[in-house]
Chain A
Amino acid sequence: MLISILVIVGLIVLAVIIVAGMYNGLVTLRNRYKNAFAQIDVQLKRRYDLIPNLVETVKGYMAHERGTMEAVIAARNTAMAAGKAAAANPGDPTAMKALGGAETALTASLGRLLAVAEAYPDLKANQNMLALQEELTSTENKISFSRQAFNDAVTLYNTGREKFPTNMIAGMFNFGPAELLESTESPEERKAPKVSFN
C-alpha cells in the first residue's frame, strides 16, 4: 500500500514537472516569434510612411499617370490595414496570409510606378527622388531580413509544438500552429540568407 502511494505520488511529481517544463517552453517560443514580428512591423510602417512622400514627389512630374499613383496609394492602405490586423495577432494564419498578399500587391504596384518613372529623366535626377528610392530599397532589405528572423522563430515554434510529446501539451493548452510570412514577388525579397549547417 505504502509503496503504491509513493509510486503514485512519484508519478504525479514527474508528470507535473514535465508538463510544466514543456508548457513553459512553448510559451517562450510563442513569445519569441510574437516579439520577432514587432521587428518587421517597425519596418513595414516605415515603408508605409515613405510611400506618400514618394507619390508626392512623383506627382509634379507625371500628372497624367494618375491611375498608377492611385493604385500605389490604394495598395499601401490595404497593406497597412492588413499589417495592423497581423500585428494584433502575429502568426494567425488568416492575418499572415492577408498581409503576405497585400505586401505582394504593394510591391508590384510600387514596381510599376518606379518603372513608369524611368521614362522621366528630370524625375530620375531629382535628389529627393533618389534619396527616397534609396531609403525604400534599404527598408525593403530590412523587411526581408527581419522577416527571415520571424519565419525562423515561427518554424522553431511549429517544430516545437509538433514534436512528441510536446504535441500533446500543445493540444491540451491550445497552442495553435503559426503561419510564416510568405515571400513576396519582389527580387529583393527573394534574397533570403543562404544557410548551410556544416
Chain B
Amino acid sequence: MDFFAQQDVARKKTGRLVFLFILAVVFIIVAVYGVALVLLQFVGPPGNVSPEDVPRQFVMWRPDVFLTVAALVALAVGTSSLLKLAALRKGGSYVAESLGGRPVSSDTTDRDERRLLNVVEEVAIASGVPVPAVFVLPGEPGINAFAAGWSTSDAAVAVTEGAMHQLNRDELQGVVAHEFSHVLNGDMRLNIKLIALISGIMVLATIGYWALHIRPSRGSKNGGGGYAAILLAALALLIIGYGGAFVGRIIQSAVSRQREYLADASAVQFTRNPAGIANALKKIGGFQSGSVVRAPASREVRHMFFGASDVGSFMSSVFATHPPLQDRIKRLDPSFEGDWSSMTPSTAAGAAGASGFAGAAGRPASSGATGAAAIAGIGTLTIEQVEAGASLIAAIPADIRSEISEPLGACAVVCAMLLDGDEAVRQRQLVAIEKTFSEVLSAEVTRVAGAVSKLERHLLLPIGDLALPAMRRMSPVQYIAYSKTISALVRADNQVTLFEFCLQKVVEHRLFEAFQKPSAGVSGVSGRQFVDDAVVLLSAVAAAGGGTEEEAKAAMAAGLKTLFNGRTPDAGLPQGQPSLERLNTAFDNFASAPMKMRRMILLAVSDCIVHDRHVTLAESEMLRAVAYCLSLPLPPYIPSVAA
C-alpha cells in the first residue's frame, strides 16, 4: 500500500470511529435519561400532587426530559471533545510537554541525547518528513517512545529516559523508525481524534466525581431531598461516565493493536534490519521496568506508545493497546530471517529500483520512467534512503552542523543561503536583515556567509531541513520578524530566482505550521480554480527545466496529460512563465487541497520533470518545494544514487 492508500485507510478508520462514538453517546443519553426518569419519580415535581395519582404513575416517555438530557449530554461531551482536540492540535510538542517531556536541544553535549538526535535526523531526512522536535521523558526507566502531532510539520518524537540509555543504536533506530511509520501512515491524527473522543466521554465521569464532593450549604433549609438527588445523580453520572470510557478504551485498544503490527512491519522495511526492532522488543520483555510509563497523563495517550505503557490488568487482551510482545517479536524474527539475511546493505544499494524518487528519476535511460514511480517513493523508506540520508548529513561540514543546531545560527545560515553574489545587493540585504530583525542576526549572517557560500548546492535544502528544529525554538514574535526578513532577502534584488522561491516556501511552510494553527486540512477550492493553479505550477516547473521553449512546451504537455487523465486539455490555457505572486497563491491553495488532488498535482509535476529523461537540480528542488507545501513526505534527491 502506498502513502495515499494508507492515508485513506486512516481516514476510513476515523469515519468508523466517529460512528462508534456517536453510538456510545446515544447509549449514554439513553442511560442518563433513564436516571433522570427515576430521579423524577423519586423527587417529583412539586405542586403536581393531586389525590388521584398518589402512587404516581411511571411515565416512560417524556419528550421534554429526553430533550433536555440529550442537549446537556451533547453539550458536555461535545465541548470537552472539541476543547481537547483544539489543545492537541497545537502539535506534538504540546502532547510531549503535557507528559512532562523535556525537549532535547539540538546542541546537546550529552552522548546519548546526541545519538538519539542523530538517529531521528537520519530517518527524517531520508523519508522527507520535517525533522521533528525530540523529547525525552525524564524519570521514566521503562523502555518506550511515542510520536505525536497533527501534521508532519509539527510532529514530535519522545522517548523515555530508559529507552535512550538502554537501547543500542540499531535498536533505537528500529524504535524511531516504528514511530516514523506512525507519522507516515497517518496514525497521528487518528490517535489525536481518538484521545479527544474518549476525553469527551470521560467528562461525564469527571463531572460525577466533582459533584460527589459537593457538600450542602449549612444554612439551606430545603437541603435534604435536593442533596440526596444530586448525590444520586452524581453517582449515576460517575457510573455512566466510566461505562462509556470503558467502551471507549475497547475501541482505542482495538484500533491501536492493528496499527502496531503495521508500524513494526514498516520499521523493518525502513531499516531493513529486523534484528534492531526485535531486539528492542526483547529488551522490553527481559527488562524489569518493561515499557511502563509512570506519568499519570500517559493513560490518555497510551495507544500512541511504542510498547504497552500500562501494566496489564484483568481482561488484558481486550484492553491491551499493544499486541503481546511475543507475537510482535515472532512476526519480526522468523519471517524476516530468510528474506533479508542474505541481503547486506551494501549489495542492496545497487537495487534501489523503483522504490524512492531518486531511483526512478535518476535513471534517465530506463524507458517508461514516469512520475508514478516517484510517487510510490512517498511515505516509504528503504535502507538505501536511510543510508543516503546519513551520508547526506555526513557531507555537511561540521561548522555548519553546529551552527544550525542553535536558533540564531540556524536562522543565520538560512539567511546566508539567500545572500546575493553581487556585493551591492548583498549590502542592501544585510541592511534589510538589520531593519527587519536585528543587528545581532546580520552580524551572525556575515560571520557564517563564507562557510555557506562554499557549500555544495544539493546540500542547501537538506541543511534548511535540519535547521528547522532549532528555528522552531524562536518565540512567536521572533518568528513574525523572521518571516519578514526572509521575504525582504528574497526580494532584495528585485528578481526572485526559483531556488529563492523554493527555499522561502519550504521554510515558511514548515515554520508556519509550527507557529500558527494548522489549517483544517481541506478547503473548498473549486475545480476550476484547482485546474488554473495546477496549470500555473506546471508552466513554472516546465520553465525550470532550462531547455528550449519547445522542450518546455513538451514537458508541460506531459504534465497536463497526467493532470487531465490522458485527455488533451482545452485550448486557452495560459502560456509562458507565470508571475511569482500567481505561483504563490497556487501554492497556498494546494496546501489545503484534499489528498486525492495533492496526489494528482505531484504526479503531474513529476511527469513534467521526467518528461525529457533528465532531472536538473532546479527541477528536483521544485518538486521538493511542491511536496513540502502539500505536506507530502518526499525522500530527498540523492545525486550519488542517481549517478
- A residues lining the B interface (CB < 8 Å): 1-6, 8-10, 12-14, 16-17, 21, 24, 27-28, 31-32, 35-36, 38-39, 42-43, 134, 137-138, 141-142, 144-146, 148-150, 152-153, 156, 188, 191-195, 197
Given contact pairs A1-B45, A2-B65, A10 touches B230 in the complex (Cβ within 8 A): no
How many Å from the CB of A44 to the closest CB on chain B?
A: 13
- Also in contact, A9 and B207, with CB within 8 A (given A2-B40, A17-B80, A194-B437): yes
- Could you tell me if A12 and B440 are in contact, using CB atoms closer than 8 angstroms? no
- With A1-B43, A10-B75 as known contacts, state yes or no: A145 contacts B439, CB within 8 Å: no
Q: How far is the CA of A38 from the CA of B103 in the complex (A)?
A: 9
Q: Is B258 an interface residue (CB 8 A)?
A: no
Q: A2-B40, A10-B72, A141-B440 are in contact. List 14 more A-B contacts (CB 8 A).
A: A1-B46, A2-B43, A9-B233, A12-B210, A17-B79, A24-B87, A35-B102, A39-B105, A141-B408, A141-B444, A142-B407, A193-B437, A193-B481, A194-B435
Q: List 25 A-B contacts (CB under 8 A).
A: A1-B46, A1-B229, A2-B36, A5-B226, A5-B230, A6-B69, A8-B230, A9-B72, A10-B75, A13-B75, A24-B98, A27-B98, A28-B97, A38-B103, A42-B406, A142-B407, A145-B440, A146-B408, A149-B407, A149-B473, A152-B477, A188-B440, A194-B481, A195-B481, A197-B480
Main secondary structure of the interface of B (DSSP, over half): helix
Q: Measured between alpha carbons, how far is A21 from B68 in the docked complex, in Å?
A: 25
Alpha-carbon gap, A6 to B480, bound state (A): 47
Instruction: Answer whether A142 and B408 are a contact pair too, CB < 8 Å, given A17-B79, A24-B87.
Output: yes
Task: Assess whether A39 is in contact with B39, with CB atoms less than 8 Å apart.
Answer: no
Given A5-B229, A6-B69, check contact A12 B207 (CB 8 Å): yes
**Which residues does chain A contribute within 8 Å of B79, judged by CB atoms?**
13-14, 17
The answer to whether A16 and B203 touch (CB under 8 A), given A3-B68, A42-B105, A152-B476, is yes
| Segment 355-382 of B: residues with Cβ below 8 Å from A | none
- Quote the shortest CB–CB distance from A140 to chain B (angstroms): 9
**How far does the Cβ of A79 sit from chain B's closest Cβ, in whole Å?**
20
Interface residues of B in 394-415 (CB under 8 A from A): 406-409, 411
A134 to chain B, nearest CB (A): 8
B40 surroundings in chain A (CB, below 8 A): 1-2
Tell whether, in the assembled complex, residue B94 and residue A28 are in contact, meaning their CB atoms are under 8 Å apart: yes
In the complex, are the beta carbons of A149 and B474 less than 8 A apart?
Answer: yes
Interface centre among A13, A16, A150, A191 (most CB of B within 10 A): A13
Binding site of A, secondary structure by majority: helix, strand, loop or mixed?
A: helix
Least CB distance, A187 to chain B, in whole angstroms: 9
Instruction: Decide if B15 is an interface residue (CB 8 Å cutoff).
Output: no
Contact A38 B105 (CB under 8 A): yes
A191 pairs with B440, CB closer than 8 A: yes
Instruction: Determine if A152 and B230 form an interchain contact, defined as CB atoms under 8 angstroms apart.
Output: no
A152 with B478, Cβ < 8 A, contacts A28-B94, A42-B105 known: yes
Shortest Cβ distance from B65 into A: residue = A2
Neighbour of A2 across the interface among B45, B97, B408, B475, CB < 8 A: B45
Q: Which residues of B contact A14 (CB under 8 A)?
A: 75, 79
Q: By the criterion CB–CB under 8 Å, are B407 and A13 in contact?
A: no
CB pair A144–B105 under 8 Å, yes or no, is no
B474: which A residues are within 8 A, CB to CB?
149
Across the interface, do A194 and B438 meet the contact criterion of CB distance under 8 Å? yes
Rounded to whole angstroms, the CA-CA distance of A15 and B420 in the bound complex is 57
Rounded to whole angstroms, the CA-CA distance of A84 and B394 in the bound complex is 35
Q: How far is the CB of A21 from chain B (nearest CB, A)?
A: 5
Tell which of A2, A16, A188 touches B207, judged by Cβ atoms closer than 8 Å: A16
Shortest CB-to-CB span from B266 to chain A, Å, is 31
Closest 7 CB pairs of A and B: A152-B475, A145-B408, A149-B475, A193-B438, A191-B439, A13-B76, A141-B440
* B206 interface residue (CB < 8 Å to A): yes
Smallest Cβ distance from A34 to chain B, in angstroms?
10
Tell whether B443 is near chain A: CB-to-CB under 8 Å: yes
Cα distance A16–B208 in the bound complex, in angstroms: 11
Q: Inside 8 A of B475's CB, which chain A residues have their CB?
A: 36, 148-150, 152-153, 156
User: Chain B contacts of A2 at CB under 8 A?
Assistant: 36, 39-40, 43, 45, 65, 68
Shortest beta-carbon distance from B80 to chain A in Å = 5
Most B Cβ at <10 Å: residue of A2, A12, A43, A192: A2
Question: How many chain B residues have a CB neighbour from A under 8 Å?
Answer: 58
Do B105 and A149 touch (CB < 8 A)? no
Q: Are B211 and A9 in contact (CB under 8 A)?
A: yes
Give 1 or 0 for each of B226-240: 1 = CB within 8 Å of chain A CB: 100110010001000
Q: Which of A1, A35, A148 contacts B226 (CB 8 A)?
A: A1
B211 close to A191 (CB less than 8 A): no
A13 touches B107 (CB 8 A): no
Q: Which residues of A contact B476 (CB under 8 A)?
A: 152, 156
A residues less than 8 Å from B439 (CB atoms): 191
Are B105 and A16 touching (Cβ within 8 A)?
no
Q: Which residues of the other chain, B, contact A42 by a CB distance below 8 angstroms?
A: 105, 107, 406
Does B318 reach chain A (CB closer than 8 Å)? Answer: no
Residues 432-454 of B contacting A (Cβ, < 8 Å): 435-441, 443-444, 447
With beta carbons under 8 angstroms apart, the residue of B76, B102, B436, B443 that contacts A141 is B443
Of residues 43 through 62 on chain B, the ones whose CB sits less than 8 Å from some CB of chain A are: 43-46
* Minimum C-beta distance from A36 to chain B (A): 7
CB of B18 within 8 Å of the partner chain: no
Taking a contact as CB atoms under 8 Å apart, the answer to whether B76 and A5 are in contact is no
B343: A residues at CB distance < 8 A = none
B103 and A35 form a contact (CB under 8 A) = yes
CA distance A42 to B473 in the complex (A): 13
Quote the shortest CB–CB distance from B452 to chain A (angstroms).
15
Q: Which of B80, B226, B438, B443 contacts A192 (CB 8 A)?
A: B438
B83 on the interface (CB 8 Å rule)?
A: yes
Tell me the complex Cα distance, A139–B447, Å.
12
The distance in angstroms between the C-alpha atoms of A36 and B93, with both chains bound, is 13
Question: Closest A-chain residue to B225, C-beta based?
Answer: A1
Chain A hits for B230, CB < 8 A: 5, 8
Q: How many whole Å from A47's CB to the nearest CB in chain B? A: 13
Q: Would you call B44 and A1 a contact (CB within 8 A)?
A: yes
Chain A hits for B411, CB < 8 A? 145
Point out the residues of chain B lying under 8 angstroms from A17, CB to CB.
76, 79-80, 83, 203
Residues of B within 8 A of A142 (CB): 406-409
Task: List chain B residues, Cβ under 8 A from A153.
Answer: 475
By beta carbon, the residue of chain B nearest A141 is B440
- Complex Cα spacing A68 to B28, Å: 76
Complex Cα distance A27/B87, Å? 12
Q: Which residues of chain B are within 8 angstroms of A145 by Cβ–Cβ distance?
A: 407-408, 411, 440-441, 478
User: CA A32 – CA B36 in complex, angstroms?
Assistant: 44
User: How far does the Cβ of A154 sit from chain B's closest Cβ, in whole Å?
Assistant: 10
Those of B73-105 within 8 Å (CB) of chain A: 75-76, 79-80, 83, 87, 90, 94, 97-98, 102-103, 105
Determine which residue in A21, A145, A191 has the highest number of CB atoms from chain B within 10 A of its CB, and name it: A145
Which residues 542-594 of B sit at the A interface, judged by CB distance below 8 A? Answer: none
B152 to chain A, nearest CB (A): 22
> Counting chain A CB atoms within 10 Å of each CB, which of B233, B478, B480 scores highest?
B478
